[in-house]
Amino acid sequence: MSLRAGSQSPGISRHHRVFLPILIALAWVALWAWARSPYGRYLEHGDWTASGPAAFLCRVIPAGDIVVPMALYTVAWILMIAAMMLPTTLPLFDVFDRLTAQRPDHGRLLMLLGLGYVTVWGAFGLVAHLLHSAMLILITSVPTLAWHGWLIGAAIIALAGAFQFSRLKYRCLEKCRTPLSFVIEHWRGYAQAWHAFALGAQHGLFCVGCCWALMLLMFAFGTGSLGWMLLLAAAMAIEKNVRWGQRLSKPLGVALLSWAVVLVATHA
């Protein structure tokens, strides 16, 4: 089915085009409410098991000290992905929406596309969480790191800045900036459910490939910082979706590297 054929029935999928922005807005509202609630510390990956409902659940659930923090982290991460990354991939959903508008399972295919995308980012989030937990253990066991925690933040900021100049960054960014070409290249149209999921997952891989370093900045800034979250989401959306977006990558890299140098110079 051609894109032209799918675009002849805009009324069929109009509600799907409204649903995704609503979902994104709800994710931001949920993060805002959570950050300002008595349990906002859970967003910061603090001591989830020290007090409050999480501590109670950790005691009553088998292996609760592992299961409960992972569950809270998963919910927080999914909300972050919905709020920060889904806006950057709206053009992909729009292209796929028009492509499949006349299929009877149109809504299900869009859901599977989103599920594939979120699954890849969820896997990245799990790896980031494990690395973050290992780093916290290392800081606890090495007093020098505890006294010089700013080094870790400076290293993450410098890594994100340097990655803005990498070839991998631009190869992945190019895939994200051309959703029509991406769908034409990867969408086969048969075994629709699996291929819709695979299409979302493949796009998610390229999205992770160009944005993983910027997302790691949330661990340096604090995952509960909605201001930094909004700023990074805007930068990634501009890089991917605005005509001149690629021009932002190198200046952003320079700014991050300069910030890291200032941090080192200030604390050295």
Residue 68 CB contacts under 8 Å (≥ 6 apart), including other chains: 48, 49, 54, 57, 58, 61
pLDDT for residue 4: 43
What pLDDT score was predicted for residue 224? 65
pLDDT at 12: 43
Amino acid (one-letter) located at 193: A
C-alpha 34/C-alpha 260 separation (Å) is 30
118, 27 Cβ separation under 8 angstroms = no
Closest CA to 218 of 166, 266, 160, 143: 160
In this predicted structure, what is the pLDDT of residue 11? 44
Q: Rounded to an integer, what distance in angstroms lies between the CA atom of residue 73 and that of residue 80?
A: 10
- Closest by Cα among 221, 246, 85 to 160: 221
Q: Please report the pLDDT score of residue 221 as a whole number.
A: 77
From the CB of residue 166, how many other CB atoms can be counted at a distance below 10 Å?
15
Tell me, letter by letter, the H, E, C secondary structure of 161-224: HHHCCCHHHHHHHHHHHCHHHHHHHHCCCCCHHHHHHHHHHHHHHHHHHHHHHHHHHHHHHCCC
pTM, two decimals, is 0.84
Rounded CA separation 79/70 (Å): 14
pLDDT for the residue 76: 84
Q: Are 200 and 112 in contact (CB under 8 A)?
A: yes
What integer pLDDT is reported at residue 126 of this predicted model?
Answer: 85
> What Rg, from alpha-carbon coordinates, does the chain have?
20
Q: How many domains does the chain have?
A: 1
Distances (CA, A) of 65 to 69, 118, 174, 223, 246: 7, 26, 42, 20, 43
Q: Answer whether 102's CB lies under 8 Å from 6's CB.
A: yes
pLDDT of residue 51: 58
**Tens digit of pLDDT per residue, the chain (268 long)?**
444 444 444 444 555 567 888 989 999 999 888 888 766 666 665 555 555 666 667 666 776 667 777 777 888 888 999 999 999 999 999 999 888 888 888 889 999 999 999 999 999 988 888 887 788 777 777 777 767 777 888 999 999 999 999 999 999 999 999 999 999 998 877 778 899 999 999 999 999 999 999 998 887 776 667 888 899 999 999 999 999 999 999 999 999 999 999 999 988 7
List the domain range (segments joined by +) for residue 175: 3-267
Confidence at residue 209, expressed as pLDDT on a 0 to 100 scale: 95
Tokens 């590297």, residue located:
257
pLDDT of residue 41: 66
pLDDT at 196: 93
Farthest-apart Cα atoms in the chain, separation: 65
User: Would you state the pLDDT for residue 52?
Assistant: 62
pLDDT the model gives residue 226: 85
Measure the CA–CA gap between 67 and 62, rounded to whole angstroms: 8
- Under DSSP, the state recorded for 51 is S
Spatial CA neighbour of 76 closest among 32, 109, 20, 110:
32
- Could you count the other beta carbons within 10 Å of the beta carbon of residue 191? 10
Cβ 116 vs Cβ 21: under 8 Å: no
Q: Which two tokens stand for residue 252?
A: 């952003």
Count, residues in the chain? 268
Q: Tokens 């807005």 appear where?
A: 25
